[in-house]
Amino acid sequence: MADYKAPLRDMRFVLNEVFEVSKLWAELPALAEVVDEDTANAILEEAGKVTAGIIAPLNRSGDEEGCTWTNGAVKTPDGFPAAYKTYAEGGWVGVGGDPVFGGMGMPKVISAQVEEMVNSANLSFGLYPMLTAGACLSINAHASEELKEKYLPNMYAGTWAGSMCLTEPHAGTDLGIIRTKAEPQADGSYKVSGTKIFITGGEHDLTENIIHLVLAKLPDAPAGPKGISLFLVPKFMVNADGSLGEANSLSCGSIEHKMGIKGSATCVMNFDGATGYIIDAPNRGLAAMFTMMNYERLGVGIQGLSTGERSYQSAIEYARERIQSRAPTGPVATDKAADPIIVHPDVRRMLLTMKSLNEGGRAFSSYVAMQLDTAKFSEDPTTRKRAEELVALLTPVAKAFLTDAGLETTIHGQQIFGGHGFIREWGQEQLVRDCRITQIYEGTNGIQALDLVGRKVIGSGGAFYKHFADEIKAFTDSADASLAEFVEPLKGAISILEQMTADLLERAKSNPNEIGAASVEYLHAFGYTAYAYMWALMARTALSKQGEDDFYVSKLGTARFYFARVLPRIHSLSASVKAGSESLYLLDAEQF
């Protein structure tokens, strides 16, 4: 596998040249104080060094060794604890955290790039700080001041970790039917009892303490999702002076043996009357979790991009070096027995598909992160509301489309290696295995698609969708003639998406199955159109700087490939959406 190199040039292009993000920061007082272009560039450069130098070298060994469970204790792969300590001491766990409690206070658009780097370097490793940052978000937004002061500083500092305990053996997608109980105690605390499964980082040896956020039901809770509360349950109790006390009544029953992310501990967690503290009001648990979910779901989408980027870096190096057969148009490397495989049209198709989806994904995830920053920091209520609605609309697309694209790209990266992609030595097969979970956890991609169509598009009567479509139309209307080759197909895509949206709004009125029947293909058509918008924006910048260096030539060529060879996929997606639900219900369950 090629050594990982953080794609800093492309990150700077997206942030500084395409989106000119420092202009947004200057408009948001809370960010203007902490970040400008130079600070951001320095942070990204440093993150690139840490992730490439310290974390990437543990990727393969972490996969081969995996985590081990002995009598309730979990050992992470060799090298993980020391690397985690270095990562935490650099302030990276709290990079996006609240400065009041010791976080670095960086905007999401910066922490998103750091997430991309750490997950490219080593997805299993990246999950530990990501879960901690997610838990911190919920605590900071919904817990009492006392809980925040007691727990956040050590979590941002990385000396304590966090976990999210939602899933139970019988309840994954449908959290409304969880059975974990919380009994109120006279001192205001709760006794939490139940079994959670598949808990990432539920137990490990990286930190002194682990702070679990646990969904549970109070004795008098209403049935379903409206009866769920959220509790902070520490592994070790924390004394009034902040020192660690006795062990809480909880344990890790076992860890899962799984297809990928083997260095990430996936735990069965047993809570046996464990002491917990409520976060937010009773029965507001799911809402409190949702605060963190928009951030976390974007983060999981970025994991798909990360594996795709890592796979591409190895594939491009291999395609330049591996010689096999002659180019169809005649020998290129005449001094060699055969030509490098990068001469072959099909290898170029795979490489460019990877490059265009990765770079489109980097721009799109940065765009969504900027909306998250606007929603959080803008002082203007109208601007904030629009950004919140865009975030709501685009989060399921970012989670599902980036991870579906991630699997496609890692598979192309494996295919470019031929048989060498299937064996361990080159690392491409690990990326395919690691990427696969990103389509499943944090809400399966099927559920993301239902969320997009059912709640965000139809649920808002098309209003959220209109924000995005209007922005694209404003761009295409104002673009000059030199951009026509990008703007015309973008206009075509948005008009197909518009038609699909109008049809769906109409059909859903008479048949509820129409939503689920169309949702995955609709989300993909949405994703390809969103990436087309990103590619048109990137092409505009690249055109204006053409001739400065090869980077812009490469950008323009990749933009042209995207519009010629990838965007047309929306035609077949649109045909599937139009076909509706009828053909899905021709068989009854026994006839399958």
Ligand X SMILES: Cc1cc2nc3c(=O)[nH]c(=O)nc-3n(C[C@H](O)[C@H](O)[C@H](O)COP(=O)(O)OP(=O)(O)OC[C@H]3O[C@@H](n4cnc5c(N)ncnc54)[C@H](O)[C@@H]3O)c2cc1C
Residue placing its CB nearer to ligand X in the complex, 15 or 450: 450
Q: Rank residues 244 and 440 by Cβ distance to ligand X and give the closer one.
A: 440
441 binds ligand X (CB under 6 A): yes
Stretch touching ligand X by CB under 6 A, among 425-433, 438-446, 456-464, 500-508: 438-446
Residue type, 329: T
DSSP string, 357-420: HHHHHHHHHHHHHHHHHHHHH-S-HHHHHHHHHHHHHHHHHHHHHHHHHHHHHHHHHHHTTGGG
In angstroms, rounded to a whole number, what is the distance separating the alpha carbons of residues 285 and 230?
4
Answer yes or no whether residue 447 interacts with ligand X by CB under 6 A. Answer: yes
Asked if residue 522 binds ligand X (CB under 6 A), the reply is no
- C-alpha distances out from residue 238 to 133, 214, 270, 378, Å: 20, 17, 20, 36
Alpha-carbon distances, residue 145 vs 134, 141, 164, 410, 592 (angstroms): 18, 10, 20, 44, 55
**Of 258 and 420, CB closest to ligand X:** 258
Among 165, 230, 252, 416, binds ligand X (CB under 6 A): 165
The conformation of residue 166, written as its DSSP 8-state character, comes to -
- Please identify, using beta-carbon distances, which residue of 258 and 455 lies nearer to ligand X: 258
Nearest approach in angstroms of CB 215 to ligand X is: 8
DSSP for 244-294, written as a single string:
EEEEPSEEEEEE---SS-TTS-EEEEEEEEEEEEEESSTT-HHHHHHHHHH
Q: Is 13 exposed, middle or buried (0-12, 13-18, 19+ CB in 10 A)?
A: buried
The C-alpha atoms of residue 438 and residue 197 are separated, in whole angstroms, by: 17
Which residue lies nearer to ligand X by CB, 215 or 369? 215
Q: Which stretch binds ligand X (CB under 6 A): 164-172, 243-251, 504-512, 565-573?
A: 164-172
Neighbours of 34 (CB within 10 A): 14
Burial class (CB in 10 A: 0-12, 13-18, 19+), 461: exposed
CA distance 214 to 171: 14
Report, in Å, the least distance between residue 202 CB and ligand X.
7
- CB nearer ligand X, residue 60 or residue 258: 258
- Our CB check for ligand X shows the closer of 13 and 198 to be 198
Which residues are CB-neighbours of 116 under 8 A, at least 6 positions away?
11, 302, 305, 306, 309, 362, 365
Q: Which of 68, 173, 239, 499 binds ligand X (CB under 6 A)?
A: 173
What is residue 210's three-state secondary structure? strand
Measured from the CB of residue 135, what is the shortest distance to ligand X in angstroms? 10
Which of 168, 388, 442, 521 is catalytic? The answer is 442
Residues 207-266 that bind ligand X (CB under 6 A): 258, 266
Give the angle subtended at the CA of 199 by the CAs of 193 and 205, to the nearest 5°. Answer: 100
Look up residue 45 and give its two tokens.
Answer: 């450069």
Q: Report the residue from 76, 200, 275, 501 that binds ligand X according to the rule CB under 6 A.
A: 200
**Which CB sits closer to ligand X, 178 or 347?**
178
Cβ(133)–Cβ(158) under 8 Å? no
Q: Does 166 bind ligand X (CB under 6 A)?
A: yes
Contact 393, 408 (CB under 8 A): no
Asked if 379 is an active-site residue, the reply is: no
Of 15-23, 203-211, 318-326, 433-441, the window that binds ligand X (rule: CB under 6 A) is 433-441
Nearer to ligand X by Cβ, of 197 and 350: the residue is 197
Q: Which of 167, 275, 358, 438 touches ligand X (CB under 6 A)? A: 167
**Minimum gap (Å) between residue 232 Cβ and ligand X:** 15
* Three-state secondary structure string covering 308-357: HHHHHHHHHHHHHHCECCCCCCCCCCCCCCCCEHHHCHHHHHHHHHHHHH
- Of 339-347, 391-399, 436-444, 566-574, the window that binds ligand X (rule: CB under 6 A) is 436-444
d(CA 351, CA 412): 7
Query: Does the footprint of ligand X cover residue 172 (CB under 6 A)?
Result: yes
Stretch that binds ligand X, among 143-151, 192-200, 224-232, 524-532 (CB under 6 A): 192-200
Nearer to ligand X by Cβ, of 81 and 454: the residue is: 454
Task: For tokens 């594996």, name the residue.
Answer: 307
Residue from 199, 370, 532, 567 touching ligand X (CB under 6 A): that is 199
Indicate whether 446 belongs to the interface with ligand X (CB under 6 A).
yes
Based on the shown chain and the rule CB under 6 A, indicate whether residue 295 belongs to the binding site for ligand X: no
Please report whether residue 102 would count as binding ligand X according to CB under 6 A.
no
Contact stretch for ligand X (CB under 6 A) within 136-144, 233-241, 354-362, 434-442: 434-442
Determine the residue with CB nearest ligand X: 172
Binding of residue 396 to ligand X (CB under 6 A): no
462: left (phi over 0), alpha (psi -120 to 50) or beta: left
* Subset of 51-90 contacting ligand X (CB under 6 A): none
Work out the burial of residue 33: count CB atoms within 10 Å of its CB; fewer than 13 is exposed, 13-18 middle, 19 or more buried: exposed
Minimum gap (Å) between residue 523 Cβ and ligand X: 13
Identify which of residues 293 and 537 has a Cβ nearer to ligand X in the complex: 293
CA atoms within 13 A on the CB side of 242: 11
Residues 6+ apart with CB under 8 A from 218: 181, 182, 184, 227, 229, 282, 283
Rounded least distance, CB 521 to ligand X, Å: 14
- Residue closest to 397 by CA, chosen among 291, 504, 577, 523: 523
State the minimum distance, in angstroms, from the CB of residue 411 to ligand X: 20
- Tell me the closest approach of the beta carbon of residue 199 to ligand X, in angstroms: 5
Which range touches ligand X (CB under 6 A), out of 165-173, 235-243, 278-286, 540-548? 165-173
Number of residues that bind ligand X (CB under 6 A): 21
The piece of 139-147, 196-204, 226-234, 368-376 that touches ligand X (CB under 6 A) is 196-204
Q: Which positions touch ligand X (CB under 6 A)?
A: 164-167, 172-173, 198-200, 258, 266, 437, 440-444, 446-447, 450, 516
Residues marked active site are found at 442
